Amino acid sequence: MPFTRTWTEELVAEWLHLDGFLVETNFPVPVAGGSGGRRETDIVGARIRVEQQGQVLEIRHIEVGQLIDNPQKNLERIQKKFGPEVCTQVEQHFTRRLGFSGVKEYQRLVVSDVSRISDSTKQTLVREGYRVYESFHEFLKQEVLPTLERRPSQGTLPGGLWFLTFLEYLRTNHLLELHSTRRQH
């Protein structure tokens, strides 16, 4: 698995991997206009999901970071990270890599890593079709821990998932307790 830039990105990448996704981090996307520049996604993953109607290529594109500006600036920043050229290239990459030609589902997730996203920023992003986790705590509670709990009680995690292995150790030894996402001052 490629290297991530932060521990929060590492945990997100490991979670996707454990949930059956082919994971890429820091996926390079050339900038349109021939300027020679490029953007990078934080984490993208894809898997083929089988449904009654057929197969679906499920793509999860996750950007992790702080959104501390006003809601409009935050929206502009996120729209740039999930720009059409970025999403198109990510989709084309996984379509080729997995040899897939059917229905595609592209999910755009935003995870706040350290600071909490304001309610107005969250509401703005949700209206625009993003799945938003207002804090990393919320992401852990809603996604990571349930994924760990769905695993059989016996057996070890796949090699290389050192962060999830540590969380699993804390969880199974009752050393991990998550409280409400709202901080009390």
Q: List Cβ neighbours of 121 (8 Å cut-off, separation of 6 or more).
A: 67, 70, 71, 74, 75
* pTM for the model: 0.85
Domain membership of residue 52 (yes or no) is yes
pLDDT at position 33, please? 63
**Which DSSP state fits 83?**
-
Q: Per the domain annotation, does 118 fall within a domain?
A: yes
The verdict on residue 159 lying in a domain is: yes
Strands 103-112 and 131-133: parallel
The CATH number of whichever domain residue 115 belongs to comes to 3.40.1350
Report pLDDT digits (tens) over 35-60.
667 788 999 999 999 988 899 999 99
Give the pLDDT band (50/70/90) at residue 182. very low
- Is there a domain that residue 2 lies in? no
Q: Which of 16-30, 67-81, 169-183 ranks highest by mean pLDDT?
A: 16-30
Amino acid 162: pLDDT? 85
Whether 111 is covered by a domain: the verdict is: yes
Please indicate whether residue 139 or residue 66 has the higher confidence score (pLDDT): 139
Is the residue at 168 inside a domain? yes
Tell me, yes or no, whether 117 lies in a domain.
yes
pLDDT score at 185: 43
Find the domain containing 151 and state its range. Answer: 7-172
As to burial, measured by CB atoms within 10 angstroms (0-12 exposed, 13-18 middle, 19+ buried), residue 171 is: middle
* pLDDT of res. 36: 62
pLDDT in tens, 76-103: 888 888 989 899 999 999 999 999 988 9
| Category of 23 on φ-ψ map: left (φ > 0), alpha (ψ -120 to 50) or beta | beta
Buried b (16+ CB within 10 A) or exposed e, 132-145: bbbbbbbbbbebbb
**Is 177 inside a domain boundary?**
no
- Tally of domains within the chain: 1
- 124-180, pLDDT tens digit by residue? 889 889 999 988 888 999 999 898 888 776 677 887 888 888 888 888 888 876 554
